[in-house]
Chain A
Amino acid sequence: DAKTTQPPSMDCAEGRAANLPCNHSTISGNEYVYWYRQIHSQGPQYIIHGLKNNETNEMASLIITEDRKSSTLILPHATLRDTAVYYCIVRVAQSSGDKLTFGTGTRLAVRP
């Protein structure tokens, strides 16, 4: 799986958009970009994933650059409950037995 680089920490104000970047310059053509988050002392939570098109769901939006070497996770209106460690992971398309390799992630602090 391709290596990812994320800033160790970020903060944003409650109600504002949180934009979390991720670099994955060695991503292969068949690798997807996945985002998970982990709230303190809980298991990780799946957020979103994409291949090359931008994706949006009820939790977030994922913007992938045209060359696919970087992406941004956007939480449109951050709340205090969004304070967590966010992990960007790139991996081959889902199949039974695929494992996730977690990096150090970005610790997002949402301030009141």
Chain B
Amino acid sequence: GAVVSQHPSRVICKSGTSVKIECRSLDFQATTMFWYRQFPKQSLMLMATSNEGSKATYEQGVEKDKFLINHASLTLSTLTVTSAHPEDSSFYICSATARGNEQYFGPGTRLTVT
């Protein structure tokens, strides 16, 4: 299957700082990328959908000014958690899809805010 990478795999930051997470499709051009969040012992919750070159569509309850998504190219999307707080500590997972194909998931990024 296709490969999706995320960077970093783990990050620890202080409360009030911002953190950027990258999601890359390594061997295909992703027309759409999705960002999910997963708290311990819970399922994945979709945060937003982003299409290359357009603004992301956020799910209800997700603050777009706090979770900034940029999908600048067909192989890269970034999620920036601004002014992070301990309650933002979670496992962030991206997925990517090309038109007519399956969604492929990245390995996830574990964010810990101290």
Instruction: Report which A residues bind B (CB closer than 8 A).
Output: 36, 38, 41-46, 49, 87, 94-105
In the complex with contacts A94-B101, A101-B46, A43-B31 CB distance below 8 A: no
Which 6 interchain pairs have the tightest Cβ spacing? A43-B105, A96-B99, A102-B44, A102-B43, A44-B105, A96-B31
- Report the count of interface residues on B (CB-CB < 8 A): 29
Interface residues as binary, B1-39 with A (CB distance below 8 Å gives 1, 0 otherwise):
100101000000000000000000000000110101000
Q: Is B97 a contact of A96 with CB atoms below 8 Å?
A: yes
CB-based A-B contact count at 8 angstroms = 59
Q: Is B100 a contact of A42 with CB atoms below 8 Å?
A: no
Please name 7 pairs of A and B residues whose Cβ atoms are closer than 8 Å in the assembled complex, sorted by A. Answer: A41-B110, A44-B44, A95-B99, A96-B100, A100-B34, A100-B46, A104-B43
Q: Inside 8 A of A101's CB, which chain B residues have their CB?
A: 46
8 Å CB contact of A105 from B43, B99, B100: B43
Q: Is B51 a contact of A46 with CB atoms below 8 Å?
A: no
Main secondary structure of the interface of B (DSSP, over half): strand
8 Å CB contact of B51 from A43, A45, A97: A97
Instruction: Report which B residues bind A (CB closer than 8 A).
Output: 1, 4, 6, 31-32, 34, 36, 43-46, 49, 51, 91, 93, 95, 97-108, 110
Closest residue of chain B to A103, judged by CB? B43
Main secondary structure of the interface of A (DSSP, over half): loop
8 Å CB contact of B108 from A43, A46, A99, A102: A43
Q: Is A42 a contact of B32 with CB atoms below 8 Å?
A: no
Bound complex: CA A26 to CA B92 (Å): 30
